Amino acid sequence: MLRFQIIIIFFIAFQLSACKNDSKINQKEKTLTTKIPFALVIHGGAGTIKKEYMTDEQEIAYRKKLQEALDVGYSILENSGTALEAVQKTINVMEDSPLFNAGKGAVFNSLGQQEMDASIMDGKTLNAGAVAGVSLIKNPINAALLVKDSTRHVILSGKGAEEFARQYHLQFEDASYFYTEKRYRSLIREKEKSGEKIIIKTNPKEQTEQIDDHKLGTVGCVAIDKEHNIAAGTSTGGMTNKKFGRIGDSPIIGAGTYANNLTCGISATGTGEYSIRTLAAHEVSNLIQYKNLSLKEALKHVVHVEIDSLGGDGGLIGLDKNGEIAWDFNTSGMYRAYKKSTGEKVIEIYKK
């Protein structure tokens, strides 16, 4: 009997010890989880963005929308979502706002229509998807992700891209959804500058938008998640009064968008022809991988040496494999922001 009691006491002691150890392990795992770094960085376009061009109300509107976009992406990452999802949903916020030249706020081409481009890339697999020259897809970045996930291609364009998106039931809008009075007036001014005869007819609506049109617009996001995977995406309406059918850098992988877990993720903004000619986004990755430059050094070289030497304008945002964030631009401003799991957060508009 005594022997049996000793066995029972030993068994209970063992169980208590095991529970205590399990508790320590669970606590350790929880601590490690909370310390896994994650972050995202966004931009809403670079260009001639000066304080004197902005009313206080306009600046507040931009800062609030940048904050909203940050919060959406950060929440996804904080809750162990993927970098790809964070990039997509963050860009959706900016595409749905008339403040930025993407989605609803897209500028008019020379025919008085919207033609939008977008791309997204997974740094883990190097898989990517893009659409170019689409007109009625509400969120082009969603179509780009669909191309990545549901085809063996990288880029679909025009009517083919739109038909593909319809097959997967993406949301479409009619042309009136994308119309904004301020963008229309920008087109008229550009045509007047070039001496063109204005024959465009649209259905003007009076809108109370707080949009600054002294800029080159695009929106973009780069994120790194708790699994240390990087993703990048870019969406744009292109350039005001651009030729019908013109495609910029935003849907070109390696030019306007690039992500590689070995190096970094990049999204570009500005006059896309220069980012295409320099393969700006991929060039930053190359400088990090083969020249051992820091992200900040690589961005500075591409913007202020390679793009500058061609007379180009614009900017780049980036995030490296360690979660370090940087940006650079050669214009007077760029809508930009970032947030890290360390609690660090920055929202900026003008050049310092």
Q: For residue 323, which phi and psi values (nearest 5 degrees)?
A: 85, 10
Q: Assess contact for 264 and 320: CB atoms under 8 A.
A: yes
Residue 30 is encoded by which pair of tokens? 């929880």
Tell me the sheet residues that pair with 116: 134
Residue 111 is encoded by which pair of tokens? 């025919």
Q: Assess contact for 238 and 248: CB atoms under 8 A.
A: yes
DSSP string, 257-269: EEE-TTSEEEEEE
Q: For residue 313, which phi and psi values (nearest 5 degrees)?
A: -135, 155
Q: For residue 233, which phi and psi values (nearest 5 degrees)?
A: -150, 155
Which residue in 82, 108, 79, 105 sits closest to 92, CA to CA? 105
- Stated length of the chain: 352
What's the first-to-final CA gap in the chain, in angstroms? 83
The residues near 336 (Cβ < 8 Å, ≥ 6 apart) are 41, 42, 43, 44, 66, 315, 317, 327, 346, 347, 348, 349
Which residue in 298, 326, 349 sits closest to 99, CA to CA? 349
- The set of catalytic residues is 218
C-alpha to C-alpha distance for 185 and 182, rounded to whole angstroms: 5
